[in-house]
Every structure is written in C-alpha cells, then in structure tokens.
A and B are shown apart, each in its own frame.
Chain A
Amino acid sequence: SQQGEEDPQALSIQEGENATMNCSYKTSINNLQWYRQNSGRGLVHLILIRSNEREKHSGRLRVTLDTSKKSSSLLITASRAADTASYFCATNSGAGSYQLTFGKGTKLSVIP
C-alpha cells in the first residue's frame, strides 16, 4: 500500500515561480527521499533527508521534514520549464529494511 500522499496531485506554475509540494506519511521512518520522474522514464534521486534532520538544501531544492506531523515538503525555487515532471516522495522505515514506499506523486508543469 502507498504510505506517502503528495499534495497537490497536479501543479501548474509560470517559469520563475517557486513550486511547493507536500508529502504526508503514516508510519515512523528512517529517512524520506524525493524523486523526479520525467514522462515514461525512470526515477532520478533528488534529495534524502534523515529522520533527525529538519531541513536540507541542494541547489534550487529545499526539503523540510516534520516528524511530529509526519510530513515533508519539497520547494523548487526559480522554476524552469525543464523542471516539468512528476515528483514522488518515498519513505524508508529502517529497522533493517531497505524498501522504499512511494507516494502518489505530484505532476508539476512549468509554463515557459
């Protein structure tokens, strides 16, 4: 079953604007990861945040994690048309398991 729930399911913005996607999960986690998928392609790992971290940055990406609310957000600043893709959060529960549980994803469209 899917643990993560992304919000919104679809997001359309103008180039240059910021895009924020949210993810909620249900069980305790070891880490939470964000992935990007271009249409018909595999997934590309964007960023990983551990359960003891609250915020992480990578280039134009900013991820936050609130374990008390079991939620995470991905912010893409100064969006570009090339950022158009689906974005998924995935959780790893740890405890010796290496499995990832994916959310339903947010489809981001950046209009030039």
Chain B
Amino acid sequence: GAVVSQHPSWVICKSGTSVKIECRSLDFQATTMFWYRQFPKQSLMLMATSNEGSKATYEQGVEKDKFLINHASLTLSTLTVTSAHPEDSSFYICSARQTGGANYGYTFGSGTRLTVV
C-alpha cells in the first residue's frame, strides 16, 4: 500500500533556530501534499496545501514566512519552521494524496513532535 515517510519523528531545538521536516511518498507520486498541526488532545488543523512545482497555499492565519513549504519533486515536500519559538511546539503531520481524484483515502506520515526550548 501507499506509504508516506515523515522525518524526523521528534526534534528538540532552541528558540530562534530553524527546523526542517521532510515528508516523502515512498511508492507513489504525490502532486499534492498537506501539512497539519495538532495540539494535544485536539484535532488536526490544516496549515497549508503543498503543490509540486508551485507555491503552497496557506490557510488563513498561518504565516507563510514562518512555515516555509517546498515541494520540489513529486515525492518530497518539506516544512521548515523558521525562527522557532516555544509556541511553535506541536505535533506536525503531513499527508499525501494519490492521483486518481478525491475519492481515495489519503496517506499520512507518522508525524513529527517539535519541542522548542
């Protein structure tokens, strides 16, 4: 089945530094990937839609200069949290959609727990 690899699974960084999270579709091509943020015991909040070869589409309230998204190939999207602050600490999850329309389930990465100290 479709597999999405997300790396790293957890990271601790100092305030002011940047952290890059990778999301790879291992056995299929993903023209569209999605980045979510999840706070403890809450649901997933869509941050942005990552489109291969073009700029990401950010949801309202998400700072595009702080959460840089690059989708340079059909199998890789990256999310860089720039100048991280403690309030950016969260669980970040990516997902990818296989081609064939919206009537298919999406495949999720295993998530990245970011802790900013």
Contacts and interface: CB of A to CB of B under 8 A. Distances in A.
A31 interface: yes
Contacts, number: 62
Contacts of A8: none
A81 to B, nearest CB: 21
Q: Would you call the interface of chain B mostly helix, strand, loop, or mixed? A: strand
Interface residues of B, number: 27
Most A Cβ at <10 Å: residue of B43, B104, B107, B113: B43
Interface stretch (B13-21, B69-77, B79-87, B90-98): B90-98
A42 B97 contact: no
Interface stretch (A13-21, A65-73, A101-109): A101-109
Contacts of B104: 48
Q: Nearest 3 CB-CB pairs, A to B?
A: A45-B105, A42-B108, A43-B108
Interface of B: 4, 6, 32, 34, 36, 41-46, 49, 91, 93, 95, 97, 102-111, 113
